[in-house]
């Protein structure tokens, strides 16, 4: 499903008070919550989402003295994504020195009132994540505000979800569908060829690795395999055995 974007015009945003700082690319996204009370009534009334986002913008501009709302995007319980500072603009919400590393995405939950994120908020956060990957040169990381900064944000429920690899709701219970291990290790040299190689290459590409899906496991595939193994903390022998195969589908992140 494509992102359901609420443009700044749609939510009647105030104009920023100054020029944004250009943001060429990021490592990914940091997830936030409001840190205050969110009225559970927003779940059945999108107009309340709009009012809440407007009040957050005013607080950031008039209270914090920022040029605009601090977030890049805001995810609401109607699976809509509000455009905050938007693509390629430095956010302010991640903390000093941390804004250039990640886009900042707020889920409209708080520490009282609406605490547990409804599935639609999780979907909307992931819609925003996909959008910044596709159009904003964002990398694969999905982290919480508290990663690298002293804060409770994004609260226990959202942070727990981030730590589980930020799965789409509904995919949690069954887990990802890992194809069965082909029964032979994928190795080089010599080049291993086959549909199983193609399946693994396509999955690694899906995870964000730069790799041709040509069905031939050669030096480039082995190199990606080794780097992936090091990232995952398993022996970097460059061989896709049962463990490395499974991790390609089941390990969180890229
Ligand atoms: Zn935060
Ligand atoms: Zn809404």
* Sequential DSSP letters for 185-238: -B-TTTTEESHHHHHHHHHHHHTT-----SSEE-HHHHHHHHHHHHHHTS---S
Whose atoms come closest to the Cα of 120: which ligand?
Answer: 2
- CA–centroid distance, 220 to ligand 2, in Å, is 45
Confidence bin at 254 (pLDDT 50/70/90): low
Residue 100 has a pLDDT of: 97
Q: How far apart are CA 129 and CA 125, in angstroms?
A: 6
Confidence bin at 251 (pLDDT 50/70/90): confident
Q: Which CATH number fits domain 192-250: 1.10.1200.10, 3.40.50.720, 1.10.101.10, 3.40.50.1400?
A: 1.10.101.10
Whose atoms come closest to the Cα of 108: which ligand?
Answer: 2
Q: Residue ranges per domain, the chain?
A: 5-163, 192-250
- CA–centroid distance, 3 to ligand 1, in Å, is 22
Residue 250 has a pLDDT of: 87
Whose atoms come closest to the Cα of 158: which ligand?
Answer: 1
- CA–centroid distance, 206 to ligand 1, in Å, is 28
- CA–centroid distance, 155 to ligand 2, in Å, is 20
- CA–centroid distance, 215 to ligand 2, in Å, is 45
Average pLDDT over residues 5-30: 98
pLDDT tens for each residue of 178-226: 888 998 999 999 999 999 999 999 999 989 999 999 999 999 999 999 9
Residue 173 has a pLDDT of: 47
pTM comes to: 0.70
193 Cβ contact partners less than 8 Å away, ≥ 6 residues apart: 215, 216, 217
Cis peptide leading into 190, omega within 30 of 0? yes
Average pLDDT over residues 111-131: 97
Residue 101 has pLDDT above 60, yes or no: yes
Domains 5-163 and 192-250 share a fold: no
Check residues 139 and 176 and name the one with the higher pLDDT. 139
DSSP run (H or E) holding 104: strand 102-107
Whose atoms come closest to the Cα of 44: which ligand?
Answer: 2
Residue 171 has a pLDDT of: 66
- CA–centroid distance, 194 to ligand 1, in Å, is 46
- CA–centroid distance, 144 to ligand 1, in Å, is 8
Whose atoms come closest to the Cα of 114: which ligand?
Answer: 2
Q: How far apart are CA 35 and CA 52, in angstroms?
A: 13
- CA–centroid distance, 52 to ligand 2, in Å, is 10
- CA–centroid distance, 228 to ligand 1, in Å, is 30
Q: Around Cβ 15, how many Cβ atoms within 10 Å?
A: 8
pLDDT tens for each residue of 39-69: 999 999 999 999 999 999 999 999 999 999 9
- CA–centroid distance, 252 to ligand 2, in Å, is 28
Confidence bin at 162 (pLDDT 50/70/90): very high
CATH architecture of the domain covering 5-163: 3-Layer(aba) Sandwich (3.40)
Q: Categorise residue 67: left if φ over 0, alpha if ψ from -120 to 50, beta otherwise.
A: alpha
Supply the mean pLDDT for the chain: 94
- CA–centroid distance, 46 to ligand 2, in Å, is 4
- CA–centroid distance, 180 to ligand 1, in Å, is 40
- CA–centroid distance, 189 to ligand 2, in Å, is 54
Percent of all residues in the chain with a pLDDT value above 90, rounded to a whole number = 89
């Amino acid at each position: 499903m494509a992102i359901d974007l609420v443009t700044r015009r749609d939510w009647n945003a105030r104009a920023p008070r100054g020029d944004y700082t250009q943001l060429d690319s990021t490592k990914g996204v940091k997830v936030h919550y409001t840190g205050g009370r969110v009225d559970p009534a927003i779940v059945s009334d999108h107009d309340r989402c709009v009012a809440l986002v407007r009040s957050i913008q005013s607080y950031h501009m008039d209270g914090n003295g920022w040029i605009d709302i601090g977030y890049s995007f805001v995810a609401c319980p109607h699976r809509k994504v509000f455009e905050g500072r938007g693509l390629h603009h430095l956010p302010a919400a991640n903390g000093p020195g941390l804004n250039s590393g990640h886009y900042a995405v707020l889920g409209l939950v708080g520490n009282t009132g609406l605490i547990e994120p409804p599935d639609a908020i999780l979907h909307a956060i992931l819609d925003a994540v996909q959008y910044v990957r596709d159009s904003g040169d964002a990398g694969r990381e999905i982290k919480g505000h508290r990663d690298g900064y002293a804060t409770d944000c994004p609260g226990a429920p959202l942070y727990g979800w981030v730590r589980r690899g930020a799965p789409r709701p509904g995919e949690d219970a069954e887990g990802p569908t890992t194809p069965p291990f082909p029964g032979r290790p994928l190795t080089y040299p010599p080049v291993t060829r086959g549909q199983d190689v193609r399946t693994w290459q396509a999955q690694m590409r899906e995870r964000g690795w730069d790799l041709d899906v040509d069905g031939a496991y050669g030096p480039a595939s082995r190199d990606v395999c080794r780097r992936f193994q090091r990232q995952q903390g398993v022996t970097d022998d460059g061989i896709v055995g049962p463990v490395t195969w499974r991790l390609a589908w089941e390990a969180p992140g890229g």
